[in-house]
Structures are given as C-alpha cells and as structure tokens.
Structure 1
C-alpha cells in the first residue's frame, strides 16, 4: 500500500508578531506561515488531514504513521530552510527575497515575441541591456519555443540561435541561464558564458544531460512537464495535480542528486501551462507554498501565459501585463524566489512595492496592542 505525506502551509502572515511569533519563515524569504495541514495520501486518495501551527508541530507529526514520520520531519525542516545564494559567474543572486529573471527568446515562433530578437541581434542586445538596467537578476535565453504544437528544433540550429545571445549578455556581465533540454546546447552555452541550465524537461529529454550538469557543477532549474518525448504537453492526466506535481518534482530532484548534482544547485519549477488545464494551473498557483517542503528554491514562470487570456476575454499575449503581474505577486506572497517574466521593469517595480509592504509589516508593532 502506497502512502505519502505532505506538509502544506495553509495560513500566511505578513509578519511573525501578528501571530505572537508562532510562525515560520518560508524558504528563508519574506513570507511567513502560521497554519499548516499534514495530509496523508494513500493510493492517490487523501485519507487524513490534521491542522497545526509551529507550536503544535511536534505533537501533530507524532500522530503520523511511523513509516511517514521521517519524511514529515524532513519536509518540516525543508519549509524552514534558508537557501544559499546562487553564484552565477561574477554575480551573486540572493534568495532571501524574490528575484526577477528576464526572458530573452531568440526563436522565430515563441508565443509572445517570436522572431523579434532572432533576426535582429542588435534588438536582442538592447532588450537584454534594458532588462538588466531595470533590475533583472538573471537573463534566461531560449532558442526553442515550447508552446503547444511547436516543432522540435535541431540542436545545431538551437546552438546557432543561442550562442550569440549568450556572448553579448556575457559581455554585459549578466548572470545567464540557458533555456534548453539538449546537452549539446547546454555545453556550448556554458562554454560561451552561461552560468545556469533551465531545462523544461527536468533533464529527462536526453540522459546525458544529468551527467553534463553534474560534471559542470552548475545550477539547474528542473521544471515539471508531463510529456516524456518531444511534446512536453502530452500525458497531462492527474489524480490530484498539486500532489502529483509535488511527487514528480521530488523524484526529479532525487534523480539529480543521485547523478551527482549538488543539492544547493537545484531549483524547482511547477511548470505552469505545461500539460495542465486552467483549473489545474490555478490549483498549482494557489498551492505554491507547499513546494517549499521539497527543500529547494522555486521558480514561477507564468508571464503572459494562456491561463491569463482564458480569464481575460482571450486577451492576446502582448496584452497580458496585468494578469502577469497578478501571478507574479501571487508567487511573491507564496515565497517563490525566482520570477521568470517578459515585463521586467514592471515586475521589478511590483516586487519593490511588495517588499516595502513586507518591511513595513516587520516594523509595525500596532498588532501587539
């Protein structure tokens, strides 16, 4: 009989003093949680659920079946884990507040800005510089569209698209991630000056990717996508999407660790929009705090995605700024460390205001009266 446990934050707080200190700091960030659910799932069905606070955590975890106790204790420690910064070349990206990752697509067919920066490299260079000036901590460069129905790209073509962008971003001193699922592209980009791999297949597309990332000792983002082949959106059949994606990411994290990837180099991404319905995407976003229980920094990539259009009278991709900011703020409230976005300046401004509110909450003692 298969049983699994999940420790899900279900009550967030602006500051610990509002709950008389009975809070934890999620993932070492600026979000505090004071109520939790310990959920036991057996053969895909939730069979037990207990609510608790940090003050009653030991008592609640002791009620769990013995076989689940060690995993529950690990998840409880993971929820409170402060993550070390990402060292990306000469840049250090701290993970104690949300950081903005700017998207640079050098493709002819991306859903949002396909072709804009591929055929006119001077425009790509200007766009990268503008994102860095606006406050992007990382530039994420991709040479293959992963929208539904997009054709696969030969790795030689992908390398020809990506390397010039990596080189001009490296010349600016940028921290660079390369958005690819092919080890040859990863290797060429890392040699050209990239610092991190962002793999939408979570290092499944080619078995050599795990070995390469471990050997290069570079940070890697493992994203959930249900499809195992060229179509990353296929096979999106879930019993309960939140728990299924959690389990899947745990397995990919463990596969990376077993291959020799250092724990502090792994970032996880729930893969919003990849093989998921509108309802499933919304469920994942609402449950983002749970994913801190995996003990890794989190990335949220929801910018301009289809779910925004579905909730906004089918607004086209270039008219989804408001929805993108709403989802970015949802990620910040959930303690997500990395926000992958198209609209860097606007998201940085939203992040700065959000942080101001968080800082003010920490120094507001009126709640104690």
Structure 2
C-alpha cells in the first residue's frame, strides 16, 4: 500500500518534524470530510450554516476517523453566484477558530486569496482551490504561509462551467494541467500539493467517466491525488438518482474505485460511511 505525504512549514496535527518542516504521512486512501458553512450548497445547503450544527458535524466526522475537514463558505455548484469576501469570511472564520485546536487537519475551500490568507492566519492548514492556483496571488499566499494546497482542474467558472464543456483528450489535458500547476506551485515555494481532476467541474458525463477510469495514471506521479465525486450529478446520470442527498451509495462506489486506483484522498459528505467502507476494502485487499 502506497505511502502519501504532505509537507507544511508550520506545526500541523499528526505532523512530524522533518528538518525545517512538518510532514504528515499516511497509507492508502483517507477521507476529507465536507463541512459547508453555506445556505446554498447543492446537497446540504443550510444544514451546517449555524455554527453549533457545523461543530457537531465536525466532531462526529472526527470521531469516525476522518483525516481532514474541508470548510467552505461559498458554493461552487453549477450555476452558483459568487459571494463577497466579507460574507465568505463571516461564514468560515468562526468554524476555523472553534476547530483549530481540535487535533485535525483543516482545509479551506476557497477561490479568493484574501479568504485564504485570513483562514490560514486563523488556524487553517491547507487551501483547496477549485481554480487550481491559477491566480498568482493565491499561489503567493500559500507559499508565504508555508501551507499545502489542493490544485483542482476546472474548465470555465461555476456559473458557466457546464455550458458545453469540450476537450480534445480530456485525460491528457486535465492531467497535463495538474502536473504543470503542481510543478509550478512547488517551484514557487508551496511546500506540498494535492492534485484533483475536478469531477463535475466543466465536464460531461463522458469526460468524468474517462477521468475516473484514468485515475491510476495520475496517481503514479509525485503528488497525492484527491477524487471528489460526492453526490454529484454524474451519479444521477449513471443511476437515475435526481436528489443529491440520495447519492451516497453511488458516491461510495466511485470513491472505492478511486482508492483501488491509488487515490490518496476522497472528499465526501457521508464521511463516516466512507471511513468505514475504506477500512473494509483495505482489509479485503490485504494479503493474508
């Protein structure tokens, strides 16, 4: 089973000092639990909008064995409208402050360098950028803070990304972008990166399936790979499940496949169920 690593230039939960940095290492596939502090996320909008509800969910996921929490204050569902910086910070900072000493890695899902800067200063450890660190200022924020970053591929922007997305060779183009951005980020001072092909972000059903089937090729590279298909429309296309909240079985199927292909992380709403399923799959695949 492959060992994956993330490096930070400041102390992090579960990290060990290696020279002038802190390294978090794990084997196999772990779970990034989704904590949306928004009123309009596509499957759980409003559920964690109140601080107490968000904290209770976070504690439940932590007890279940989730590896890290991904806190978001702006929906990136197809067709979503952006929110201003102040609104996004009002949603996420109380959650970060409440969880910064909880002993779990905290990721912040944001496209705004100003939000990333404030979140890292508040106690977050990792920035999950759906725009793939295309903004030089976002890259600089992560590099200056010594924070790891997740680089995701998205064609277009959330409001328009599903309007006729097109590729010549989706696997080659997405993997090429991720490898190039990953190398650039590291060369510019970001200590460590995760690569995410962006399932559902500017892709058709066929594009998503090609990327999922091609996961192994991306995982053979130098950086951990994240697959994030939880409750996405792809599952409706494949299994006729119109309500996002009913798509956890399909999410598990995709994410177990990704783990078998070498993914280091899966991002999930039903985080506890994913932890359980991955543990069982690991046991079944272990040599006797």
Do these two structures clear the TM 0.5 threshold for a shared fold by scoring above it? yes
Provide the C-alpha distance between the structure 2 equivalents of 1:322 and 1:127, rounded to a whole number of angstroms: 20
Partner of 2:19: none
* C-alpha distance 227-234 of structure 1, shift in aligned 2 (>3 A): farther
Residue 252 (structure 1) shift: 1.2
1:302 aligns with 2:198: no
Post-superposition CA distance 1:314-369 (Å, at most 9, x none): 3311111110110110111101001110001111110110110122xx23xxxxxx
Partner of 2:71: 141
* C-alpha distance 235-225 of structure 1, shift in aligned 2 (>3 A): farther
Out of 252, 255, 269, the position equivalent to 1:325 is: 252
* C-alpha distance 234-267 of structure 1, shift in aligned 2 (>3 A): farther
1:19-168 counterparts in 2 under 5 A?
29=2, 82-85=3-6, 89-92=12-15, 93-118=24-49, 120-168=50-98
Provide the C-alpha distance between the structure 1 equivalents of 2:163 and 2:121, rounded to a whole number of angstroms: 32
Q: Which moved more, 1:82-91 or 1:109-118?
A: 82-91
Provide the C-alpha distance between the structure 1 equivalents of 2:132 and 2:164, rounded to a whole number of angstroms: 16
1:260-339 counterparts in 2 under 5 A?
260-262=189-191, 265-339=192-266
Provide the C-alpha distance between the structure 1 equivalents of 2:219 and 2:262, rounded to a whole number of angstroms: 8
* C-alpha distance 310-345 of structure 1, shift in aligned 2 (>3 A): same
Provide the C-alpha distance between the structure 2 equivalents of 1:350 and 1:83, rounded to a whole number of angstroms: 20
Q: Which moved more, 1:245-254 or 1:144-153?
A: 245-254
1:207 aligns with 2:136: yes
Contact 1:141 1:178 in 2 (8 A): yes
Contact 1:214 1:259 in 2 (8 A): yes
SS at the partner of 2:107?
Answer: strand
Looking at CA atoms only, which structure, 1 or 2, has the larger radius of gyration?
Answer: 1
Provide the C-alpha distance between the structure 1 equivalents of 2:166 and 2:52, rounded to a whole number of angstroms: 43
* C-alpha distance 331-215 of structure 1, shift in aligned 2 (>3 A): same
SS at the partner of 2:100?
Answer: helix
Residue 233 (structure 1) shift: 4.8
Provide the C-alpha distance between the structure 2 equivalents of 1:350 and 1:315, rounded to a whole number of angstroms: 24
Residue 217 (structure 1) shift: 1.1
Gaps of 5+ in 2: 16-23
* C-alpha distance 231-180 of structure 1, shift in aligned 2 (>3 A): farther
Residue 302 (structure 1) shift: 0.5
Contact 1:201 1:232 in 2 (8 A): no
Residue 240 (structure 1) shift: 1.1
C-alpha RMSD over aligned residues = 1.8
1:196 aligns with 2:126: yes
Partner of 1:224: 153
Provide the C-alpha distance between the structure 2 equivalents of 1:146 and 1:84, rounded to a whole number of angstroms: 27
Partner of 1:240: 169
Provide the C-alpha distance between the structure 1 equivalents of 2:89 and 2:162, rounded to a whole number of angstroms: 23
Contact 1:86 1:95 in 2 (8 A): no
Post-superposition CA distance 1:66-98 (Å, at most 9, x none): xxxxxxxxxxxxxxxx54355661324433211
Residue 172 (structure 1) shift: 2.2
| Number of residue pairs aligned between Structure 1 and Structure 2 | 278
Contact 1:100 1:348 in 2 (8 A): yes
